[in-house]
Amino acid sequence: MPPLLATAGDDGVALWDGGAVARRRFSPHAAQVSALRWTANDRVLASSSHDGSVVLSERDGSLFDTLRPQARGPDGPAPVLSVTWSPASRYLASGSADALVRIFDLQKREHALTLRGHRAGVCALSWSPSEVHVASASTAGDVIVHRVQGSVAAVCRADTAPPGARGDHAVRGLHWSPFHPTKLATGSEDGVVSLWETAAPLRLPRAVQLHKFEAHSAACCGVAWSAVNHHLLVSAAADGSIVFYDTTRLAVVRTLCSDQSFTSLAFAPDGLHLACGAADGSACIFDLRSSDDSPLWSTRAHDGPVSAMAFQRASGAESPGGGGGGGGGGGDDNASRGDKHPRRRPAC
């Protein structure tokens, strides 16, 4: 059974525990939810919203706390576009439309840091496994790696948009590798998925683009590394494709195709289950151990586009390896076989 999945849309947040019927629904915000993240112990769900707040909710949907990244101005608070926890869940980072990243210390219940450097709204965040760095990405296509322990500073930058490019180059997908502490993956509005080395030779202030994949023909909505396979990365896009990459061989190893336009992505920590949300409000979960490209289940989760998804860490049932992450080999091996001629079929 997949771990508990949280999804969000214009009509609030829904929790799913292995079936196509929501276990619980609640509405923590007065506007669209932009991002969801569970704490490391699965007890609290953080949600960011266009209403300018970050709400911390218990697993039953009850309010735990509300964080307001900024004082209310004459035009109201700036929308909060992204949120992420530090690995130990003591700190929470939020990114807003005012181009700022704010760090909250939840133990002291205070706003601890404000990180600057972007020229547009911060739409994606990822905390490094070491907790030393936070990566942030903006709607203008720039990525900044901030050091948040010791001497706080922006230590590295990357620009995903080509020089002189016009239009929207937002980076909607951003994720640190759990096994390579200086490697980042990004997914952009132009559909390009890139790998970046943030510890460049001679400590240059620019990240090195290791590789770029151009498997998508529309905007990438998310990227995620496998938590159990050192090599596996996945992305989803508005073209209805879910693409799996071997980041060592720099190759596409499997593609799932759909008639849906994907808007959100979540990769379960067990390495076996993948969830995607779509523009029509559909949500689906895939079991990567299956050779069938059809989802394990799919449902109409929300009235509008599924704007965010997040899996808990704990699994509802033990995998064959004994525990949530012990049986990851089956799903990853299956994904790494590849599919040279993917069949076109509805995934949600």
User: pLDDT (tens digit, 9 = 90+) per residue, 24-65?
Assistant: 999 999 999 999 999 999 999 999 999 999 999 999 999 999
- DSSP code, position 334: H
In a domain, 341, yes or no: no
In a domain, 345, yes or no: no
Give the predicted TM-score (pTM) of the model: 0.87
328 or 2, higher pLDDT: 2
**Whether pLDDT at 293 is above 50:** yes
Mean per-residue pLDDT of the chain: 88
Rounded to whole angstroms, the Cα distance separating 239 from 38 reads 28
Report in angstroms the alpha-carbon separations of 114 from 95, 99, 100, 105, 341: 10, 11, 7, 12, 48
- The whole domain housing 244 covers 5-336
Does residue 348 form part of some domain? Answer: no
Q: What is the pLDDT of residue 68?
A: 86
How many CB atoms are located within 10 Å of the residue 224 CB?
A: 21
Task: Name the token pair of 258.
Answer: 């759909």
pLDDT in tens, 123-173: 999 999 999 999 999 999 999 999 998 888 888 999 987 766 666 689 999
346 domain residue, yes or no: no
Cβ-based neighbour number of residue 162 at 10 Å: 11
Rg (CA), the chain: 19
Higher pLDDT, 246 or 149: 246
**Over the stretch 195-210, which tens digit does the pLDDT of each residue have?**
999 986 555 588 999 9
Of the pLDDT bands very low, low, confident and very high (cuts 50, 70, 90), residue 332 is very low
User: Is residue 328 predicted with pLDDT exceeding 70?
Assistant: no
- Least Cα distance to 268 among 209, 328, 219 occurs for 328
Q: What is the mean pLDDT of residues 215-231?
A: 97
In a domain, 186, yes or no: yes
Strands 54-58 and 63-67 turn out to be antiparallel
Cβ-contact 138, 170 below 8 angstroms: yes
Which residues is 334 bridged to in the sheet? none
Domain CATH code at residue 25: 2.130.10.10
- How many domains would you assign to the chain? 1
CA–CA–CA angle 274, 279, 281 (5° rounding): 75
Cα atoms found within 13 Å of the Cα of residue 46, Cβ hemisphere only: 26
Query: Is residue 344 included in any domain, yes or no?
Result: no
Nearest to 224 by CA among 11, 37, 1, 22: 37
Give the Cα separation of 255 and 135 in Å (integer): 28
With the C-alpha atoms ordered 192, 193, 194, 198, is the resulting torsion angle positive or negative?
positive
**What's residue 62's pLDDT?**
96
**Rounded average pLDDT over 98-104:** 96
Per-residue pLDDT, 338: 39
Q: What does residue 106 show for φ and ψ, rounded to 5 degrees?
A: -75, -20
User: What are the helix (H) ranges across the chain?
Assistant: 328-336
Average pLDDT value for residue range 252-270 = 96
What per-residue confidence (pLDDT) applies to 151? 80
Query: What's the confidence (pLDDT) of residue 335?
Result: 41
> What's the start-to-end Cα distance of the chain, in Å?
18
Residue 254 lies in a domain: yes
- For residue 201, the model assigns a pLDDT of 55
Distance between CA 245 and CA 252 in Å, rounded? 4
Q: Could you tell me the strand order of the sheet in which 232-237 lies? A: 220-225, 232-237, 241-246, 251-257
Asked whether residue 126 is assigned to any structural domain, the reply reads yes
